[in-house]
Amino acid sequence: MKSSPRVTAVVLCAGMGSRAGLGYNKVLYPVGNLSVGAFAAKKFDDYSLVVVCSQADEDILRAEIGRDDALFVRGGNTRSDSVRAALNAITDADVVIIHDGARPYIRSEVVKKSVESALVYGSGVVGVRSVNAMRRLNADGSSVAVDRGELFTVQTPQTFRYGEIKRAYKVVQGSFADDAEVYERAGFTVHLVEGDADNVKLTTPADFAGLNGAYRIGYGYDVHKLVENRKLVLCGVTIDYPLGLLGHSDADAPVHALMDALLSAAGLPDIGVLFPDTDERYAGADSVKLLENVCSRLSGFEIVNASICIMAQKPKLASIIPVMRDKLSAVLGIERDRLNVSATTTEGLGVVGEGKGIASAAEVLLKIK
């Protein structure tokens, strides 16, 4: 029986990643309860593991990865030098997987495919096809179409027969963008393995925004009583109806729910605290003006989307919803398709169903800027 191949994964965590603008090694950025580098390294639990990192980052990575058998190696000045150091530290392997610590989203199926390719062909370098049309830029500024079917964007893992990649790094000196180039320069043939676009390399500040706790959702709810001799205002739109909602302000329940959702997501006090109904300034207030006030408090956030549900037995609101969306999306300063309003009855049940009041709920998603 053939013994199973000895496979070692090298995870590169030694770069500073200065383009990420974090002020510290980007592989230490938290994703959930792990750093990016540990998150990436744990994708290789089925293999022997070498982590290339600085002395300063070793303790945290070692603790998070939690493998007694993992080898920690100091990096060099360049990526190529770091890989050389890792390859020299490996004593016995058939195949070596080389992976960037800043690519935490690699899937184990793709890793397996690259290992299988390396066992058969000597190499298995992960790449993805371009979804964009591609052009080659000429020196004079003109450009020419390139068949994108022939082009791959190269990622990691890049997996090789150990003896071959070790020899390649020995005979090819200098610094290169990836291992495939070193392998090729040493005279070997690079085989591509198709990966997926999710396996991004976290590089710029935008790549880190939204990774971890950078979004906040918020929920708000409100209900007002329907009475005679009041205007019915919903989402800032005055609706022709014999009854209106009773309240200190114009009692626009969906806007009140929306404001509370925004404030809640932003970690701010609710509208009862900000605009108390004991304050005469808010008597008969236009709730849309209050919403503008709330928006002025959200300078640290971007509104991703807002969703409002109006619960009313009557009147029918379907034809007015587009007007409501136009009005409120303009106030929030977002595209219309990011703010939606739905309306429902409660099938004659409860306060709403009996026509005694109108209720509203809202949810929002904020992104921390």
Interface residues with Mg ion (CB under 5 A) are: 222, 256
The CA distance from 223 to 219, in Å, is 14
Q: How many Å separate Cα 123 from the centre of its chain?
A: 31
Q: Say if CB 259 and CB 251 are below 8 A apart.
A: no
- Write down the least CB distance from residue 248 to Mg ion, Å: 8
Running DSSP on this structure, what letter comes out for residue 206?
Answer: H
**Residue 330 near residue 306 (C-beta atoms within 8 A):** no
18 burial level (CB within 10 Å; 0-12, 13-18, 19+) = exposed
Q: Which residue is nearest to Mg ion (CB)?
A: 256
CB 208 → Mg ion: shortest distance, Å? 38
| Sequential DSSP letters for 52-86 | E--HHHHHHHHHHH--TT-EEE---SSHHHHHHHH
- The backbone torsions φ and ψ at residue 137, rounded to the nearest 5 degrees and listed phi first, read -85, 130
Instruction: Please report which helix (H) or strand (E) contains residue 129, including its range.
Output: strand 123-129
Nearer to Mg ion, 87 or 253 (CB): 253
Q: What residues form DSSP beta bridges with 127?
A: 154, 194
Place of tokens 């293999």: 47
Least distance from C-beta 18 to Mg ion, angstroms? 50
Nearer to Mg ion, 317 or 362 (CB): 362
3-state secondary structure of 31: strand
Give me the residues paired with residue 136 across strands.
144
Distance CA 293, CA 273 (A): 13
DSSP structure string for 154-196:
EEEEEEEEHHHHHHHHHHS-S--S-HHHHHHHTTPPPPEEE--
Which is nearer to Mg ion, 113 or 256 (by Cβ)? 256
In sequence order, the β-bridge partners of residue 35 are 30
192 or 290, CB closer to Mg ion?
A: 290
Nearer to Mg ion, 178 or 252 (CB): 252
| Nearest distance, CB of residue 253 and Mg ion, angstroms | 6
CB of 316 to Mg ion, least distance (A): 22
| End-to-end CA separation in angstroms for the chain | 58
Give the shortest CB-272-to-Mg ion separation in angstroms: 8
Of 156 and 264, nearer to Mg ion (C-beta) is 264
As measured in angstroms, the least distance from the Cβ of 342 to Mg ion is 19
Residue nearer to Mg ion on the CB measure, 126 or 226: 226
Minimum separation from the CB atom of position 247 to Mg ion (A): 6
Kind of pairing, strands 243-246 and 143-146?
Answer: unpaired
Please say which residue, 9 or 245, places its beta carbon nearer to Mg ion: 245
- The nearest distance, CB 291 to Mg ion, in angstroms, is 12
Q: CB-wise, 222 or 363, nearer to Mg ion?
A: 222
